[in-house]
Each structure stands twice: as structure tokens, then as C-alpha cells.
Structure 1
Amino acid sequence: MPNEKRAVLIAAGLSSFLTPFMGSALNVAIPVIGRQMHATAVTMSWVISAYLLTSAVFLLPFGRLADMLGRKRVFLMGVALFGLSSLLCAVSSSIEILIASRAIQGIAGAMVFGTAVSLITSAIPPGERGKALGINTATVYVGLSVGPAVGGFLTQTLSWRAIFVIVAALAGITWLYAQRIRSEWSPAQGERFDTAGAVLYCLALTLLLSAASWRHTGIALAGMAVLLLVVFAVREAREEHPLLDLHLFRNSTVFTFSTLAALLNYGATFSIGYLLSLYLQTIRGFTPQEAGLLLLIQPVVQAGFSPLAGALSDRHEPRMVASVGMLLTTFCLLAYASMPYRANLAFLVTVLAASGLGFALFSSPNVNAIVSAVSGTRYGVASSVVSTARMLGQSLSMAMIVLIFTLTMHGLPLSPSYGEELFRSMRVAFAVSTVLSLLGVFASLARGRMHHSS
């Protein structure tokens, strides 16, 4: 069993490194891609949003399928598709093809996200789970740390396409290593898949997350999405084998408010790296490599403190550890919202480091609280709910950026000539994010106590 646990930890850790590495590296490359493909600020935001949208939409269905067909099997298929779609991104000849390839990559990401944490919770006992999740979270932040520096170097010296080539190679290595996992976990084997519920769910989220891009019909689309979600919830309450077991929320205050806190946290914070990359390169004139080196401060701090935060949540109430982290994050967002047009380097370094600490204190304790609040047969669905909350929050964060850029940039390109317009848009985005983060603090505190297994 120790060898089994090690294999699961390494395979999940590699996949957890892979996706944030790509995302953080791509953030640094966005201004260069925009110039080379002559795309507007709004269009470029879809290079990020397309991936997030499909990931958020398909996470829950793939989590359910993983419980039915086997968590390792779905994980392996997801890693393989992720590598292939990365190659499609690398050879994209237009911004439209790149966005479409990113959407496919998001589907693959959903297959990986929906199973990686459940693999860990299946193989690791409760008393060691917080530490294991902390280590896994640390690999996420190592990916985030390496990504900006490597992405900046590759973009400046070779091409932004090299980022996707490296991601494809890493996906191949991850797939080969995951083959070493011998056990399989399929606790819902033989149960029926809720196809109608999955269609309702996917359609509702697609309408909701894309509503911000449609200036004149966005409200109508959002209204339709809410209506479909209500129909979905009513159906799931009556379904024998639901896509989303609503009892997870009804029976556990810890699960409900921890999930809400995750949604608000990622909704408030995901766009930080994207916006700061635009700020540093478009307004301040940093090279991609210089911007990448500065942006790695935040994830390096995250990576260093995540295992400690996970271990703390094994011994102390996760809600307190996570709430302190989210409160610190709120102050950092407020600092970004009020920073001057040419903020000095010491200010940026300080706030980046503080936000890294805040993220570390929130993330792994919050995941530990969520997965420890459900039974073993629901780890796959719970893992998918965690990941869906994260991806939905990230998608909403980028949808907010799309909406703000649409209203304030008016189709303007990413250019130093329009730095004032870009900066005003950034400050509005950071102000909205500050409010979301503050709401997340209250959600985190409201979850109640979590009783650890002895």
C-alpha cells in the first residue's frame, strides 16, 4: 500500500503541476500573442476563457463518470487528450483556431481535475489526507512558480508556441507514470448516468459563463441559465442516481460553505496574474521574461507555505486557517485596486508575496474541509464539486474581465498607446474582486466546525 500511495501522489502531483504551469506561462505570453495575431483585448481574454469555460462545464459530468467507470481510467484519458490538444494549440495558425484548441484542452483538463484529488482521497487515509493535499497543492504552486519564468523565457527567446510543446511533452510523461497505478476505484460502478441532467447542467453553465460576452442579450442569456439551473436542481432532487447529489449540500454546512468560499476565492483572485501581466508589459514596458520573474514571487510563497497550511488544517479548524488566508487576500486586492499608475517595485513585490501567503493559507485547508465532509463513495463527486467551484470561480473572474474590457476598452488593442484605458479597467476589476473576496471571508467563517477522525 505505501507504494500505491506514492504512485498516486506522484501521478496526481504531476498533473497538478501541468495545468497551472501552462496557465501561468500563457498569462505572460498573452500580450505577445495579441500583437502577433492582431487581436483585441476582449478577443485575447477568450484564449483564457475558452479553456476555463469548457473545464467548468464538463468537470461534474466527468467526476460522475469517473466514479462509475474508474477514476484512474478517466484520469489517463484526460491526460492523453490534454497532450494532444496542446499540440493543436502549438500549431494554431489563427486566433480562432487557438481559441477552439483551448476549448478542447479545457475538456481534457476537466477529466484530469475531476479525478486527481479523488485519486488522493481514495488512496490516502483521513489522518494523512491534509498533508497529502498540502503536498499536492504545493505542486500546483510550483507549476505556477515555474510557469511565468519559463513562459517569459520561451516567449522572448523562442516562441509562445514552445509553451504548448513543453506542455504536450509533460502530459506524455504524466501519462506514462500514471500507468504505474495498479488499483482502480469505481464506487458507483453499475449505476445509471444521468444524461438529461448532464445536458441541462452543461447548457446552463455555458449560457451563464458566456453571457458577459453578449452586450445586448447577456441579461437574457443569464436569465435562461438561472432557469435551467433551477430545473436541473429540481430534477436532481428526484433522481435515483443524480449527477450532483444535493444531499452533499443539505447534510453538511461544512461542505456547502467551503464550496461557496472556494467559488468566491477563485472568482476574486484568478485574474490577478492575467491583469498584472498586461500591466507590466503593456503599461510598464517590461519584457516577457522580466514580467515572468516578478510574477513568480506569489506562487513561490504559495508553494512554500501550502504544506504547512495543510498540516495546520489537520490539527486546527480549517475554517479559521482558511478565513485568515482569505482576509489577507482581500487586503491585497484592495492594495491593487488603489495602486498608482506607476507603482514602485517594492510595492509590487510586497503585495505579491502577501497574496501568495493568503492563497496558501486558504487553499489546502479548504479542500481538506470539503473532502473530509463526505463519505468515501462520494469522493469523486466531491472532488469534482471542489474543482468545479474553482473552475467556475476562475471562469466568472475572466467573464468579469471580458465584461469590463467590453464596456471600457471598446475593441481597443493591447497597446501602450491605450495604457490609461487599460489601467482604469484594471482598477475596476480589482475593486470588484475585493468585494467578492470579502464575501468569501464570511462564507468561510460560516461553515462551522469540522470534526476530524481520530
Structure 2
Amino acid sequence: MDNKSNNDSDIINKRVVLLIVTLASFLTPFMSSSMNIALPSIGKEFSMNVVLLNWVATSYLLAAAIFLVPFGKIADIKGRKKVFSYGILIYALSSFLCAISTSSVMLISFRILQGIGSAMIFGTAVAILTSVFPPRERGKVLGINAAAVYLGLSLGPFLGGSLTQYLGWRSIFIANAVLGLITIILVLWKLKGDWAEAKGEKFDFIGSIVYSLSLAAIMYGFSLIPAMSGLWLVLVGVFMFLLFVRWEMKTKNPILDINLFRNNITFTFSNIAALINYSATFAVAFLLSLYLQYIKGFSPQNAGSILVAQPVVMAIFSPLAGRLSDRVEPGIIASAGMALTTVSLSLFTFLSEKTSLEVIVASLILLGFGLALFSSPNTNAIMSSVERRFYGVASATLATMRLTGQTLSMGIVMLIFAIYMGNVQITPQYYPIFLTSMKTVFIIFALLCFGGIFASLARGKVQ
């Protein structure tokens, strides 16, 4: 009887953990996709130029990417529940502060704080799930977690658009603050355990600072390209990153164990595949949003309704792909997903003024299915390839690959648009050049993804 009650308690605790982590994983993508709809309203209220407006989105992304790996390591040492809880608290507080901002500088500053909170959530969420669920159930729960991310991306444009239209852009931040508050109450009330497999290890402050500065220089520099200052910043960032790698190989308790990459082919190539996948796909929604509104003449609401096809398919099939990766080699499923993604990106290179809506939606559905097959099996491969004490670092490394890939994706778009179009508004006279620019970006994305198939296959067997 005691064994049965212990098992029941264990099952309930696992379900509570899954609920809390899933809710937290929904928050940040919901925020990001909502913000894209709200940016014009924010720009109008604060009279922001296009550079400042870009920083409202980029500051959050940059802060999250910089702090992910350090917080992943801190979580392994101090306890994942602790870092996860503080992360949600900071996220909820910063969301409220964003809502009451009275200037663009205030808003961007609080977006940076929101990015730090997001790093603490994403640097620990997958690690907590991997700690609580045994290997045979891991793919299934990682699939559910991925579905929550895609659900956030799907609902963002709809709910964010409605909130902005009827209650103003500040209501998006209020909604996030309320959801964050509900999550933190659940954490303090129901979440048991603290999972600190690297307890007692020292934190590598020098490595953390060099890593953060190198990533900041690379990502900020990339946003300035093709200007020479951007190229110099990227070179400085790369040099500092090489210094960071050298330091991590020498120090006793590194924030990022380089041996994870040197001695673990599965971990290395799974992360490279993730970086390539996000670099090749993140800007697709941005490009198609412009194409549907400018070239096809759809309203923002209708454009959003068309674009939702991709994340909905991802949300439906991610749990199934995750469950399948518990039974079949994850690398095979992820590679098949990368191949389908390549095909869908190739189809987008043929877009023109006359492309039918059916072709666009079919291509989006194929892209969503490819990404669903890739995402959770790839995550399963990464988390199954490391020891328990590295779960936090592995989770944070994957999340860093995602954020860095997203930034590179937008960087490629900015670079191609700057070369083809220069600093102009998209007016009817520039539509042909816009279409040429967009097709060029899709060709680059398809080639990137094609290379990603080989990176995915090179990981070897996980199971």
C-alpha cells in the first residue's frame, strides 16, 4: 500500500512539474510573437525611429542569449528550482515595469531585465523535465514542452493583436505579468525538489564575463553589418570567444565544459544542427508577413491567420515526434525533419505576385511538419547524450543555439535587404527588388538547411 501511495505521489509530482514548466515555456514565445504586432503602436506612442524600435525586440533577445549558459551552470550548482523560481519572478516583475514605462529608454531597459528572467527560465526548464522524467518518457514530455512553445507562437499574433487593438500595447505586458504570477504561485505551492547535481562546485566568474562580452560583441556587431564597425565588433567577439574556449579548457570548474563538445559527437552535432535550423527558419514568418501584406495586399489580421498554419502544425505534431523519438533513433527523425524543412524553404524561393494562397499555406504546413519532426527529437538527443550533472548546461547551451540562430536569421535578412534595397521604405516601386531580396534570402536559408541535414546525420546513434 505504501509503495502504491509513493508511486501515486511520484506521478502527481511529475504531472505538476510538467504543468509548471509547460506554462513557463508558453510565456516567452507568446511575449515575442505578441510584441511583433505591438511594435508599430509602441513606436507611435514614443516617437521611436526604426533603430530604437528594433532594439525593443533585440535587447530582450540579446540579454537572454548572454545569460543562458551562466544561469544554466548556476542552476546546476545552486539548484534548478531556485533559479527557475527567481527567473519567473524577475520575468513577471519586468513585464509589469515594461507596462508602466514612460519612455523608450525605460522600456528597452526593462526588456533587458525581462531577457535575463527569460534566460533563467529557459536555462533550467528542459533540465528540470529531464531530471524528473526517466529516459523512456523523456521524448514525450519534451514534445509536450515544444508544443507549449509553438502554442505561444501561434496565439501571440491573435491575442497580442486583440489586446493591442482594444486595450493598448501595455496590456500585453500586464497579461504576461499575471501569467508569471500564477506560475510562481504554483512553483512555491506545488514544486518539490531542487535538483543540484553539481552542488559544491565553484562558479567560473571570469569565464562567464568573457563569454557574455564575446556574445554581446558578436550579436551587436552582426546587427550593424554591413558597416565596418559591425565587422570589427564581430571580429573582436570571435577573438574573445576563442579566449573563452581556451580559459574553459584550463579552469577547474568551467561554466561550459568544452569536453562536452570534444568528447561527445552526439552533443556537438545536435547543437550545430539546432543552430543551423533556427538560423534558416526563424525569419520566415517575418518575411512572409511583409510579403502577404505588401505584395498580396492582405490585412495584418488576415496575414496572421495565414501564418498561423505553421506553428499550429508544429504544436500538433511535436508531442507525437517526441514520443516517436523514445522508440526510434532521435537522430533519424530529426534529420528527416531537417530534410522536409529544406524542401519547404526551396518552395518559398518560387514566390511571386501570382503565387496562389493554397501553395503558400501548403508550404507553411510542410515547414511546420518538418520543424515538429526536428525540434523535440533533437532536444531528446542532446539531453540523452550527457550526464545528469550537466543537464542545466546542456539545456542552456541548446537554448543559446536557438537564440543565436534566431539573431543570425534576422541578421541575414538585414544584410541582404541592405545590399539589394538600401535604407528605403517598401513602396510599390520597390516591390520587384523586395521580391528579389526575399527570394535570395530563401535560397540562402534552403542551402543552410541542406547542410544541416549532414550535421544532423553526423551525430551518430543516441540510443
Of 53, 62, 69, 2:62 maps to 53
What's the counterpart of residue 273 of structure 1? 285
Deviates more, 1:55-64 or 1:101-110: 101-110
- Residue type at the aligned position of 1:194: D
What's the counterpart of residue 124 of structure 1? 133
Matched, 1:188 2:198: yes
Q: Distance in 2 between matches of 1:98 and 1:26?
A: 12
Q: Distance in 2 between matches of 1:227 and 1:21?
A: 35
What's the counterpart of residue 79 of structure 1? 88
Matched, 1:382 2:394: yes
Matched, 1:260 2:269: no
Deviates more, 1:265-274 or 1:358-367: 265-274
Q: Distance in 1 between matches of 2:453 and 2:325?
A: 17
Matched, 1:314 2:323: no
Of 332, 338, 343, 1:326 maps to 338
- Residue type at the aligned position of 2:208: A
Of 218, 224, 238, 2:236 maps to 224
Deviates more, 1:74-83 or 1:291-300: 291-300
Per the alignment, in what secondary structure is the counterpart of residue 194 of structure 2? coil
What's the counterpart of residue 5 of structure 2? none
Deviates more, 1:30-39 or 1:324-333: 30-39
- Residue type at the aligned position of 1:59: L
Change (3 A) 1:333 1:318: same
Tell me if the contact between 1:85 and 1:104 (Cα under 8 Å) persists in the aligned partners: yes
What's the counterpart of residue 210 of structure 1? 220
- Residue type at the aligned position of 1:61: P
Q: Distance in 1 between matches of 2:136 and 2:384?
A: 10
- Residue type at the aligned position of 2:366: A
What's the counterpart of residue 367 of structure 1? 379
Q: Distance in 2 between matches of 1:262 and 1:110?
A: 18
1:413 Cα deviation from its structure 2 partner: 4.5
Q: Distance in 2 between matches of 1:409 and 1:15?
A: 40
What's the counterpart of residue 90 of structure 1? 99
Deviates more, 1:257-266 or 1:404-413: 404-413
Change (3 A) 1:153 1:224: same
Q: Distance in 2 between matches of 1:347 and 1:394?
A: 25
Deviates more, 1:366-375 or 1:74-83: 74-83
- Residue type at the aligned position of 2:445: S
- Residue type at the aligned position of 1:257: F
What's the counterpart of residue 3 of structure 2? none
What's the counterpart of residue 335 of structure 1? 347
1:419 Cα deviation from its structure 2 partner: 4.6
Per the alignment, in what secondary structure is the counterpart of residue 193 of structure 1? coil
Tell me if the contact between 1:40 and 1:412 (Cα under 8 Å) persists in the aligned partners: no
Q: Distance in 2 between matches of 1:36 and 1:217?
A: 31
What's the counterpart of residue 359 of structure 2? 347
Q: Distance in 1 between matches of 2:154 and 2:278?
A: 18
Tell me if the contact between 1:41 and 1:413 (Cα under 8 Å) persists in the aligned partners: no
Equivalent residue runs for 1:136-155 within 5 Å: 136-155=145-164
- Residue type at the aligned position of 1:434: A
Matched, 1:200 2:210: yes
1:397 Cα deviation from its structure 2 partner: 1.5
1:400 Cα deviation from its structure 2 partner: 2.5
Per the alignment, in what secondary structure is the counterpart of residue 228 of structure 2? coil
Q: Distance in 2 between matches of 1:309 and 1:360?
A: 7
Q: Distance in 2 between matches of 1:287 and 1:92?
A: 29
What's the counterpart of residue 305 of structure 1? 317
Deviates more, 1:422-431 or 1:372-381: 422-431
For 1:14-38, what per-residue CA distance to the aligned partner results, in whole angstroms no more than 9, with x for missing partners?
0111111112222333455456655
What's the counterpart of residue 121 of structure 2? 112
Root-mean-square deviation (Å): 2.1
What's the counterpart of residue 234 of structure 1? 246
1:421 Cα deviation from its structure 2 partner: 5.1
What's the counterpart of residue 174 of structure 1? 183
Tell me if the contact between 2:352 and 2:435 (Cα under 8 Å) persists in the aligned partners: no
Q: Distance in 2 between matches of 1:40 and 1:298?
A: 31
- Residue type at the aligned position of 1:289: Q
- Residue type at the aligned position of 1:184: D
For 1:71-123, what per-residue CA distance to the aligned partner results, in whole angstroms no more than 9, with x for missing partners?
01111111111112222333344444433332222111111000000010111
Change (3 A) 1:143 1:5: same
Change (3 A) 1:48 1:249: same
Matched, 1:29 2:38: yes
Tell me if the contact between 1:270 and 1:394 (Cα under 8 Å) persists in the aligned partners: yes
- Residue type at the aligned position of 1:7: V
1:418 Cα deviation from its structure 2 partner: 5.4
What's the counterpart of residue 408 of structure 2? 396
Change (3 A) 1:110 1:291: same
Tell me if the contact between 2:94 and 2:110 (Cα under 8 Å) persists in the aligned partners: yes
1:424 Cα deviation from its structure 2 partner: 4.1
What's the counterpart of residue 8 of structure 1? 17
1:253 Cα deviation from its structure 2 partner: 0.9
Tell me if the contact between 2:94 and 2:113 (Cα under 8 Å) persists in the aligned partners: yes
TM-score by length of 1: 0.93
Q: Distance in 2 between matches of 1:33 and 1:414?
A: 20
Q: Distance in 2 between matches of 1:151 and 1:381?
A: 32
Q: Distance in 1 between matches of 2:179 and 2:132?
A: 24
What's the counterpart of residue 134 of structure 1? 143
Change (3 A) 1:165 1:154: same
